[in-house]
Structure 1
Amino acid sequence: MDGTSPEARDRDSAGRARSARPRDGLGRPLPYGAEGVPRQPEGVVRAPADTVAEAQRLLDEGKPFHAHEVFEDAWKSGPDEERELWRGLAQLAVGLTHAARGNATGGARLLRRGAGAVEDWARLRGRPEPYGVALPSVAGWARELAVEVEGGGAAVDAAARAPRLRG
């Protein structure tokens, strides 16, 4: 499929639009036929500890976009009372993705939004370290990186700047 017309759009098995283009390590689409990195399978239901471990592995590999997809699966499949936790962690990963792509404004904005979301969740639930994730430390990392991203404007090295989710 060439993706140039609505009729030629890639579709998943349910008929929803879903790009089959390969992606680079930061989730950017590549031309058809190019070699990309393996995609994260969608809709995987993991135990929370497995979600954190898989996301950390991807962050350490410099793949924050893919880590975001892991957090998004937890956000969509987890219990309602944890949705904001996983959504906030996904926002942090997307913020790092934008910062690594050189989008200083979007990166800083999402890093701050995600930091606020995980802090709010921790405060409301009285759980600063759910599943071993040190939310105060992660939020601090995000706010510091947001300031650096805005000040420097250059793309950050995603692997070098990956947060330590667990203490």
Structure 2
Amino acid sequence: MSETRSGGQDRDRDEGGRARNARPRDGLGRPLPYGADGVERQPEGVVRTPGETLAEAQELLDDGMPFHAHEVFEDAWKSASEPGDRALWKGLAQLAVGVTHAARGNARGAESLLRRAADAITPYGSDRPYGIEVGALADWARGAADAIADGSSATAATLDLPRLRSRD
């Protein structure tokens, strides 16, 4: 489905009328010109178990694709039935977006999102929901934000990303 914008350009829409950008994207989620070879996008609206969410997001983070990890966390956030779970997944999505901004060289966005993520997930620290190392992730996010703010680290390549869960 498409809709014509002012200027005569078509806008991609799904069956529900929500905007969907069908442009190809690079590994960090940035739009590429139509017709360019892009990275396959994560399917939207996939309901996964918490374990599947964490495994898929970790693999994407390990592969240098934090934008795609964010989309996996966003699916978990939007499909969670419990408010507490929604807030946790939203915080993890913010962490992945913070890493995405760092990888794109957007220091201000990275710092802001990493701090927001740390604040969002900190309340879960003592519980370790789904085996997530929440305390370590929050500490890492604050440390990364501090390093970005003081100029000692400005890209995801210089950030030593933590594991979402400890290896068993």
TM-score (norm 2): 0.88
Identity %: 60
User: What root-mean-square deviation, in Å, do the aligned CA atoms of Structure 1 and Structure 2 show?
Assistant: 2.1
Number of the residue aligned with 2:162: 163
Number of the residue aligned with 1:31: 33
Q: 1:150 to 1:20 in 2, by over 3 A?
A: same
**1 CA distance for matches of 2:141 and 2:131?**
18
Paired residues of 1:115 and 1:142 also in contact (CA < 8 A): yes
Q: Which runs of 5+ in 2 are unaligned?
A: none
TM-score (norm 1): 0.88
Q: CA deviation at 1:89?
A: 0.4
Q: CA deviation at 1:4?
A: 7.5
Q: CA deviation at 1:56?
A: 0.3
Paired residues of 2:100 and 2:156 also in contact (CA < 8 A): no
Secondary structure of the 2:44 match is coil
Q: Which runs of 5+ in 1 are unaligned?
A: none
Number of the residue aligned with 2:118: 115
Matched, 1:65 2:64: no
Q: CA deviation at 1:73?
A: 0.5
1:5-40, CA deviations, whole angstroms, 9 ceiling, x for partnerless residues? 465111123232110000111110000011111100
Paired residues of 1:40 and 1:69 also in contact (CA < 8 A): yes
- Counting only pairs closer than 5 Å after superposition, residues 15-164 of structure 1 correspond to structure 2 as 15-80=17-82, 81-120=84-123, 122=124, 127=127, 129-152=128-151, 154-157=154-157, 161-164=160-163
* Greater mean alpha carbon deviation, residues 13-22 or residues 44-53: 13-22
